[in-house]
Structure 1
Amino acid sequence: MASATGPTGTSTRPNQGAGTRAGVGDSPLRPDGTLKVTGEFAYSSDMWHEDMLWGCTLRSPHAHAGIVSIDVSEALKQAGVHAVLTYDDLPAEMKNYGLEIQDTPVLAHGRVRHHGEPVALVAADHPETARRAAAKIRVEYEELPVVHDEASALGEGAPLLHPGRDDDHAPHVPHPNIVHRQPIVRGDVEAAAGRAEVIVTGEYEVGMQDQAFLGPESGLAVPAEDGGVDLYIATQWLHSDLRQIAPVLGLPEEKVRMTLSGVGGAFGGREDLSMQIHACLLALRTGKPVKIVYNRFESFFGHVHRHPATLWYEHGATRDGKLTHIRCRIVLDGGAYASASPAVVGNASSHAAGPYVVDDVEIEALALYTNNPPCGAMRGFGAVQACFAYEAQMDKLAAELDMDPVDFRQRNAMSRGSLMPTGQPVDSPAPVAELLRRVKAMPLPMEAQWESADGGADVRALPGGLSNTTHGEGVVRGVGYAVGIKNVCFSEGFDDYSTARVRLQVAGGEPVALVHTAMAEVGQGGITVQAQIARTELGVTQVTIHPADTQVGSAGSTSASRQTYMTGGAVKHVCELVREKVLQRGRELFGTHHPAWATAGLLLEGGKVVTDGGEVLASLADVLGEEAVEAEDEWRHRTTVPFDLETGQGFGHVQYSFAAHRAVVEVDTELGLVKVVELACAQDVGKAMNPQAVVGQIHGGTTQGLGLAVMEEIVVDPAAKVRNPSFTDYLIPTIADTPTIPVDVLELADEHAPYGLRGAGEAPTLSSTPAVMAAVRAATGRALPRVPVRPEHIVQV
């Protein structure tokens, strides 16, 4: 049997001091928390089967090349090898997959389009045997011209990376190497520009960021007696994986059974498939369980990354500080395959003006096909790139107008009722000015914290830290501000829903709720929130969360800050159905004995049925008896529509979230080293379902934005080859790099959302990056239009 101890299938009880039932608004302990901090938690890479094989992937060393021939004979001769598969061995007519556009081959056929593309698979009885066999596969390549930027993608004679592409996006783009294009036009920009008394322009660049999740891609496929396969996998979206996997295997979806295993973070990088199909193919071919675990080097090639971007902006304003217009063009590098690029384009364009009131806009966003690594979903999803540019522009305008940068932002801040560039009204609280006021009002950290008691320098607190590069010479402090806006949930007419199944029954004399969804717990704490909702709605103490799998309806992706909203909303809705069934049973059993049973104000509290006045009518155990009460249903948010492909107008987003940051940095202006001292944040979360978890999400998003500002970038050379696929060369913030992050949480309820909540995980990723960069600019006086900033950018003459 395949086995793993994961975050689900556990009984959750409230921790002491968390309230009477640890319901909504409390902060109960996470059931997976202790296991994770002690190292006992089992991730998907820890799974084991008694007779399993190990899978390995052969990847292309070239970014763009024709495949002349593949010879697997030597690999098959390797002792311990059970199977070697290439494109020609794929069992079904469907040989491609993809989130929106099925343009990604399971294994390369005819040519490879990016460095690290899968070419062949090996299954062997030991992981090292599989790797050695893969190295014996002989592939003859004929290198082709590389498309690596906009000029080479759209210039005259540019190679077409997907010739004959025929999909819903193709008629709306001017070149086949453009995945998707979204313009947004509102008002009269030419006339508005004529009224502008100050105009600033800027060109900006955002590097390719990796999700850098802790657990590399891994999973275990087990062939079944019915000819199907059971897949135990770390993913963000079980049912999306299923929809893509089954056709390639030539199996109906009911014969591909998927169960979520322990996930070590995701941040968008697990929305796309990695080794799922490969493990299933090898398991079905060999008739044995097959496990695949990527090492860290391979992981950099095995998942999508954040889209690198080039952005051009023009902002105009009157002398009294009111925005007149915005023009911008955002070019995202989507890499070799489409992934989520169409949706990222929609997000980048619709958020391109930021949380500001501006009536006249001309926006264009597009994503390119190139031979660079494929890019797709990552925390912030297109809004991150836009926020970096528009916040730099707001600082430029404030400087030209000789205005305080916070005052200038507040003067133009949107509020409830303001229109987005798409014409959509923001119909819930939009406290942009208040967030800026709060973050500015937080006490600043003390100056010169690096001075030791004896008057010397504590190098640990200086830029460069223990490298002992400076003792304070040339160190300048800077302060910067930024604010961002991010949508919540899926958008543009996507049928966004989540399914929940809830059972209430008596076990050991105590009522117990069983909650079953397909929500992927990737570290965000969703299973804790589900239990809190069940306790709140059903009045029970003990809640068991069933392992997430495809034996229940889809919960959608754990992305877009949507799971607490959507799956939380589904659990709330189904608990209400269960509660009504319980009360109806009670009316049938006891209603004749007490007139209060006929009222609509009955509650379930503490395992009892009580009136709204607190009178106990019966215990839940008496009402339920030996018979369980169960309900299952889908729950949807309000309808959205696709943006118009010519004007970009439309009610495209469900909800918006807002966060503001103030960064305090110290910069060694002689060496170009940056030390982030503090990143204060103010954020509106609508309702803090689990206050401790909300602050944790804000800390995590803030730190990821810090990484993009000062260190994180996948370096891709002009030949489209990745040069730093390891944590030795791809740097992420450690505890030594992470500053103090004070958080001020607002709770302004959105009446359209369950409990009034607002997605919390992504918004702080937006504003932390430009806030850090604003502070570095303040310390250095340099324009610094690119992230991540490097020492040579700061000290250049």
Structure 2
Amino acid sequence: MANRTFPARTPQDLSESITGGIGDSPLRPDGTLKVRGEYAYSSDLWAEDMLWGATLRSPHPYARINSIDIGPALKHPGVYAVLTHEDVPGENIYGLKVADTPVLAEGIVRYEGEPVALVAADHPETARRALEKIVVDYEVLEPVTDPERAAHDDTLPKLHPEGNVVRYQPITRGDPEAEADVVVSDVYTLGMQDQAFLGPESGVAIPAEDGGVDLFIATQWLHVDQKQTARALGLPVEKVRFTMSGVGGAFGGREDLSMQIHSCMLALHTGKPVKMVYSREESFYGHVHRHPAKMYYEHGATRDGELVYVRAKMYFDGGAYASKTPVVVSNATALGTGPYEVPNVRIEGWGLYTNNPPCGAMRGLGAVQPAYAYESQMDKLAEALGMDPVRLRQLNAISEGSTMHTGQVLDSPAPVAELLERLERLPLPPENPTGPVDIRGLPGGLSNTTHGEGVVRGVGYSVIIKNVSYAEGADDYSTARVRLQVIGGEPVAMVHTAAAEVGQGLVTVQQQIARTELGVERVNIHPNDTNVGDAGSSSASRQTYITGGAVKNACEAVREAVFARVGRRYGENPEDFSLSGGKVVSTATGFVTDLVEVLGDDVIEETREYHHLRTYAMDPVTGQSQRVHVQHAFSAHRAVVDVDTELGLVKVVQLDCAQDVGKAINPDAVVGQIHGGSAQGLGLAVMEEIQVKDGRIRNPSFTDYLIPTILDTPPMTVDVIERGDPNSPYGVRGVGEPPTISATPAVVNAIRKATGLNLTHTPVAPEHICGA
């Protein structure tokens, strides 16, 4: 069982008269069902007279489509529809940031797995067999697969009319040609990681009597899906209604559309409900992954260890379509020096089109790749200087008031040095356990590959910075509708937002905020749908901040309406009122009345938005901006690893984390998020990589794409500190992404420390260690 530490709390920190408010850790309402296997995910949906949809995908990374013959498939018994790009009712184009992705391929395919045709049939196996009867004549072309070459080689084919560069962003600060006493440099590469969520893409589309369609879907952003789908269907937005269904994890992979438009097209064409569920293999081909990267880094420092300059060039492979590539380049360059004071910076970032699998959002978007590089560099610089790597980091750590290399001034706590200090104070595991060796704790585990011979131990540290919420001028807001009424003789609050619960515990957080602000025990969460205003995406660690702020605003409006009613009715001053335990209390006169009496049969309902601080785009030449990001979060990891140097096997013995969360709305959920993020970062460090060769995925299954299991997950001590951000509701910071980012370099640094090897690729594979 992992340990956790929290600062002492005073009674004023907690709700005095209700349980399950801010600062408590109430059980998740969906937790028991999920643990017992009784929770309804989107793949469990069913509708009367339902058909099954399936997708024909390109077998080639790059090819011209000469013809498509759907006749044989249409004749197959049980088939109701076969659709191609000619059947797209509206625009055959969509995209999250750039509209560049065809609904169905038209004339050309740009990656292996691109959707070419759709089938609806009365049985899923019938649909799959019909796909095999669609005849497509392809003219295979030479794929573009090297992103660095795509950035600079004008002789390569242009995969899109504007060329192969999605975004180029330079940032300069100070003297970009500065010199230093001690210099370290290297080239780092990071592999393509899959989100590997529990539930594959799935949903049910049901045609409606008004000519529209209702889609029940697992997604991260209902409203942006709705808008893209409506445009492709040629329908007004109000006729395309989305309702959130059970989401089996997301991690960014559900930000891009998958089967949303396809299922709706089939439903409208056939007049019947259509269900689509991807297999795990199709999921590997059918959604985006983390951008692989190649990064050239050079750090210069004084002999005393003060950083003088950082220079970097970063190339991000976006694959066939843009998706979130512009944001990846933005985040990577804006955070590319890490949480350190650097007076002189020159960074260049490229996001490229290739014929590799498309890449988009994944946990830690754009911050994971540079963190691996700059934290590797800090360890190498410490070695070159003969300094302790923790002291070097603390010497150069940013703090509140520091100016980043983009020109943004940090206007909230940045306890970077403190996080490292806290990690150092945590106890280390014993080096040489007494008694018989338990092989389960050694590299290789129960495979019995070693009894300790050739095993060496290493300890590695890392500390990172991550932006929270949208950036560069995006209007980031959320909407909440809160209703207060009497049900069953007691006051009940209903919270309605479109914010996606993707496993992060947002449902619980919304209940906690409403309990605290309205002083009622019972809080229900309305199903998430597009009948309420936009809540933005469940990404960028933003929902507790932004949607939490919207729920808080709506609750405050309801509370003010209650106070105004009581004031008019009883002649009391509303400014003296408070809500607690279902009662309205006057702090001035001692007047008390029950909410039940105040409300009677009436309903008080308010809808409010929450907008964060304004941000500004980076200058396209200098990268400067007065505020690129809304907020920054910080986390640090210490990893202890054992490495079998003969077989190249790694066992992560302990993985401790210290993180500033601003305010722990739900302490247990905070620790759970840190556990999950740490495990995902560990996976990227030592096992998770989609193998792509010549544009083709070689390991599209969990047999060959490895993810950490409970046997790979080490003990973790989590030290949570709360340095509130004065600009955010309750002082909260994003929690889920930062530990994903800091875990990876900590593990790799520990392996490097144990072996003395210059490891420049993650994940670290056995052949990188033993030289096979």
TM-score (norm 1): 0.94
What is aligned with 1:171? Answer: none
Whole-Å separation in 1 of the counterparts to 2:21 and 2:222: 27
SS in structure 1 of the partner of residue 345 of structure 2: strand
- Which residue of 2 is the match for residue 648 of structure 1? 623
Q: Offset at 1:399?
A: 0.5
8 Å CA contact retained: 1:501, 1:633: yes
Q: Which residue of 2 aligns with 1:267?
A: 251
1:306 alignment partner in structure 2: 290
In the superposition, relative to structure 1, how do residues 372 and 18 fare at CA in structure 2: closer, same or farther (>3 Å)?
A: farther
Provide the residue aligned with 2:89 in structure 1. Answer: 91
**Which of 569, 579, 604 in structure 1 is aligned with 2:579?**
604
Show CA shifts across 1:532-586 (max 9, x none).
0000000000001000000000000000000000000000011001100000000
Q: How much does 1:612 deviate?
A: 3.6
* Aligned match of 2:663: 687
Residue 697 of structure 1 pairs with residue 679 of structure 2 = no
8 Å CA contact retained: 1:608, 1:616: no
Give the Cα separation in 2 of the matches to 1:614 and 1:439.
50
Is 1:122 matched with 2:146? no
CA 1:18/1:75 → structure 2, altered by over 3 Å: closer, same or farther? farther
Instruction: Give 1:634 shift.
Output: 1.5
The number of aligned residues is 756
Tell me the residue number matched to 2:396. 412
Identity %: 66
Q: Of residues 145, 163, 172 in structure 2, which corresponds to 1:185?
A: 172
The residue that corresponds to 2:610 in the other structure is 635
Residue 500 (structure 2) aligns with: 520
Does structure 2 conserve the Cα–Cα contact (< 8 Å) formed by 1:272 and 1:339?
A: yes
Matches within 5 A, 1:223-234: 223-234=207-218
DSSP-derived class of the 2:576 partner: coil
- Whole-angstrom CA distance in 1 between matches of 2:284 and 2:114: 11
Which residue does 1:615 correspond to in 2?
Answer: 590
1:46 paired with 2:44, answer yes
* Counterpart contact for 2:332–2:370, Cα < 8 Å: yes
Partner of 2:239: 255
Once the two structures are TM-superposed, the CA of residue 742 in structure 1 deviates from its matched residue by 0.7
The answer to whether structure 1 residue 543 and structure 2 residue 523 are counterparts is yes
Paired residue type of 2:649:
L
Q: Give the secondary structure class of the aligned counterpart of 1:481.
A: strand
In the TM superposition, what whole-angstrom CA distance separates every residue of 1:174-210 from its partner, at most 9, and x where no partner exists?
Answer: xx201001111111122x32xx110111100000000
- Cα distance in 2 between the residues matched to 1:598 and 1:740: 55
Q: Indicate conservation of the 8 Å contact 2:147/2:353, yes or no.
A: no
Distance (whole Å) between structure 1 residues aligned to residue 671 and residue 589 of structure 2: 34
- Report the Cα distance in structure 2 between the residues aligned to 1:615 and 1:536, rounded to whole angstroms: 21
Please say if residues 18 and 27 of structure 1, whose CA atoms lie closer than 8 Å, have aligned partners that are also in contact. Answer: no
1:73-97 CA deviation, whole Å, 9 max, x = no partner? 11011100000001111112x1100
- Is 1:658 the counterpart of 2:634? The answer is yes
Tell me, in whole angstroms, the C-alpha distance in 2 between the residues paired with 1:97 and 1:790: 38
Could you tell me how far apart the structure 2 residues matched to 1:768 and 1:82 are? 50
Match of residue 563, structure 1, among 501, 521, 543: 543
Residue 104 of structure 1: SS of its match in structure 2? coil
1:285-316 CA distance string (max 9 Å, x none): 00000000001000001110000000001111
Check whether the contact 1:487–1:657 (CA below 8 A) recurs between aligned residues.
Answer: yes
- The DSSP-based 3-state class of the residue aligned with 1:490 is strand
> 1:156, CA displacement in angstroms?
4.1
Counterpart amino acid of residue 601 in structure 1: D
Q: 1:238 to 1:599 in 2, by over 3 A?
A: closer
TM-score (norm 2): 0.97
**Whole-angstrom CA distance in 1 between matches of 2:54 and 2:526:** 32
Aligned partners of 2:596 and 2:396: how far apart in 1?
A: 57
Equivalents in 2 of 1:209, 1:614: separation in Å?
Answer: 62
- Is 1:747 the equivalent of 2:703? no
Q: Which residue does 1:709 correspond to in 2?
A: 685
Aligned to 2:561: 581
1:368 aligns with 2:366: no
Contact 1:21 1:540 in 2 (8 A): no
Which amino acid is the alignment partner of residue 120 of structure 1?
A
Per-residue CA deviations over 1:231-266 (Å, capped at 9, x if unaligned) read 000000000101100010010000001000000000
Alpha carbons 2:17, 2:581 under 8 Å: kept: no
Q: 2:6 — aligned with what?
A: none
| 1:148/1:372 contact within 8 Å kept | yes
- The aligned residue for residue 147 of structure 1 is 144
Q: Which amino acid aligns with 1:84?
A: V
* 3-state SS of paired residue (1:139): strand
What is aligned with 2:11? none
| Structure 1 portions without partners, runs of 5+ | 1-16, 166-175, 592-596
Give the CA deviation at 1:796.
Answer: 1.2
Partner of 1:20: 18
CA contact 1:18–1:26 (8 Å) conserved in 2: no
Counterpart residue number, 2:488:
508
Tell me the distance in 1 between the aligned counterparts of 2:47 and 2:260: 17
Distance 1:757 1:613 in 2: 32
Paired with 1:624 and 1:577, the residues of 2 have a C-alpha distance of 15
CA distance in 2, matches of 1:678, 1:106: 46
One-letter amino acid of the counterpart of residue 646, structure 1? V
Q: 2:745 aligns with which of 770, 773, 779?
A: 770
1:109 and 2:85 are equivalent in the alignment: no
1:237 aligns to what? 221
- 1:474 is matched with 454
SS at match of 2:464: strand
Counterpart contact for 2:168–2:350, Cα < 8 Å? yes
1:710, distance to aligned residue in structure 2 (A): 0.1
Which of 293, 298, 309 matches 2:277?
293
**What is the aligned partner in structure 1 of residue 307 from structure 2?**
323
Map of 2:12 onto structure 1? none
| Alignment partners' CA distance in 2, 1:78 and 1:704 | 44
- Structure 1 residue 151 displacement after superposition: 5.0
Does 2:130 correspond to 1:133? yes
* Unaligned segments of structure 2, at least 5 residues: 1-14
Task: Give the Å deviation of 1:614.
Answer: 9.4
